[in-house]
Amino acid sequence: MKKYEKLLNYFFNASKLTIAYIIVCCKRKQNDDSTVLIGGHKGLRYDDNSRVFYEYLEKTKKYKCYWVCDRNMCDSERERIVGEYLEKATIKTYVEYLSSTFVVYSHSLSTDIAPLANRLLRRKRPFLVNVSHGVEGLKKIEDLSKLEYSDIHLAASNFEKQIKIKNWNIPNSSVYNIGYPRFDLLSTRSYPNKVKNILIMYTWREWLSDGKEFENNYAEHLVSIISNLKFIEYCKDNQIILHYILHPFVDLKNMNLVEANDVVRLYTGDISGLISKCDLLVTDYSSVAWDFVYSNKPVLFNQYDYELYQLKRGSYFDMDKQLGELRYTDSNKLIDAIMSQDVLGSKCESRIESLRFKHFSKVDNKNCQRLLKTIEELKYGIDE
């Protein structure tokens, strides 16, 4: 059934794209220098680099911006959109796409903005900008064959730029080391001397299709910290809050999560506020780690399946060497590092500083400004 649904969806989208193309040609509508389409997360969430750049453009008032959302986007997400929005894969949206000056997305053009457009109308397309979800390094891209063409790909450092050139085979002329929009919202500060709010956020393993494997291994990993009674008591005594975020792919039915006396708080939704609020991140391979590194805040990596993860997915650098004392394969030892306050010590601070120096060329909160300037220079020859 899914195969037929996919074919039917392909036919409908191709038909709507064709109609939009005819409309644009009949009206002889040229590219509108003021219209910009922006989207991300398959149109289901108003979040990430796309959102930050969208709101930046809205403030400049230089462009007519539309956020592109999926028809299944929940009402609470739609209410957060600060300006106008369009529904993905409609004739109107395809018309706006074909006549826009540039288009911005965080995943791909097909999933975020205009399905099939990159495949069926390669010659008739606006200027394309891929702002990505975050810094690359901790985990390799799943399938390079799905990587679509973009005029601009972002990087936060020369190290990441080389990943996209050498590993992703993107031309050097298309990768720009100007930083990511969402880091403009982060403040940098002195390394913390105490921890009051801890963010716990793990990433998904795409190979976990077997229910038993999920239940016996991954689920145990997900709750290893918040089910440690000794640690919970420590948090109570020291008034520490554990903010726990489940990956969207994790079904709560498979979990046994209970909020423990105001110590553990389960959270869903926009996490940008939590990233700013929390003093410490506990993760495994999530790119949110880079938000904390950028902000000069500690990160502890709980990598119980490190060898398997390297085999199945892999990373772009040797985590054992580069993460050093920040990396654990035993959650109990990680907990000890928090309770003993080793995580606040000079060794961890130096490690964060080293990561920050290598993976961020610019820490000035001007990434949106640089991105817009780069787009305008490449597209219009404008150099302010």
If residue 198 lies in a helix (H) or strand (E), which one and from where to where?
strand 197-201
Q: Counting beta carbons within 10 angstroms of the beta carbon of residue 25, is it exposed (0 to 12), middle (13 to 18) or buried (19 or more)?
A: exposed
Give ∠ CA 111-77-6 in degrees, rounded to 5. Answer: 30
For residue 1, the model assigns a pLDDT of: 47
CATH number of the domain at 1-186+365-380, out of 3.40.50.11820, 3.30.420.40, 2.60.40.3080, 3.90.1150.10? 3.40.50.11820
Indicate the Cα dihedral angle 150, 154, 159, 165, nearest 10°. Answer: 10
Please state, in angstroms and rounded to a whole number, the distance separating the CA atoms of residues 163 and 319: 15
Q: Which region holds residue 268: left if phi is over 0, alpha if psi is between -120 and 50, else beta?
A: beta
Closest CA relative to residue 100, chosen from 147, 36, 28: 36
3-state secondary structure of 363: coil
Write out the residue limits of the CATH 3.40.50.12580 domain(s) in the chain: 197-359
**Size (the chain), residues:** 384
Please state, in angstroms and rounded to a whole number, the distance separating the CA atoms of residues 177 and 66: 26
Token pair 């957060």 in the structure block, residue? 80
For residue 204, the model assigns a pLDDT of: 85
Three-class secondary structure assignment of 269-289: CCCHHHHHHCCEEEECCCCCH
Residues 265/249, Cβ–Cβ less than 8 Å: no
Which tens digit of pLDDT belongs to each residue from 188-216?
888 999 999 999 999 888 887 655 555 56
Token pair 């985990």 in the structure block, residue? 139
Write out the residue limits of the CATH 3.40.50.11820 domain(s) in the chain: 1-186+365-380
Q: Which residues contact residue 260 at a Cβ distance below 8 angstroms, ignoring those fewer than 6 apart?
A: 226, 232
Please state, in angstroms and rounded to a whole number, the distance separating the CA atoms of residues 224 and 231: 10
Residues 41/112, Cβ–Cβ less than 8 Å: yes
Please state, in angstroms and rounded to a whole number, the distance separating the CA atoms of residues 285 and 138: 6
Three-class secondary structure assignment of 129-180: EECCCCCCCCCCCCCHHHCCCCCEEEECCHHHHHHHHHHCCCCHHHEEECCC
CA 368, distance to chain mean position in Å, is 16
Please state, in angstroms and rounded to a whole number, the distance separating the CA atoms of residues 215 and 222: 10
Please state, in angstroms and rounded to a whole number, the distance separating the CA atoms of residues 323 and 263: 28
Q: What is the pLDDT along the chain (384 residues), one digit of tens a residue?
A: 467 777 888 888 889 999 999 998 887 655 567 899 999 999 999 988 999 999 999 999 999 999 999 999 999 899 999 999 999 999 999 999 999 999 999 999 999 999 998 877 767 789 999 999 889 999 998 888 888 999 999 999 999 999 999 999 999 999 999 999 999 999 888 899 999 999 999 988 888 765 555 556 777 788 889 889 999 999 999 999 999 988 767 765 555 555 556 798 887 767 888 999 999 999 999 999 999 999 999 999 999 999 999 999 999 999 999 999 999 999 999 999 999 999 999 999 999 999 999 999 999 999 999 999 999 999 887 655
Q: Which residues contact residue 236 at a Cβ distance below 8 angstroms, ignoring those fewer than 6 apart?
A: 261, 263
Q: Which CATH superfamily does the domain covering 197-359 fall into?
A: CDP-glycerol glycerophosphotransferase, C-terminal domain (3.40.50.12580)
For residue 146, the model assigns a pLDDT of: 82
The Cβ of residue 340 has, within 10 Å, a number of other Cβ atoms equal to: 10
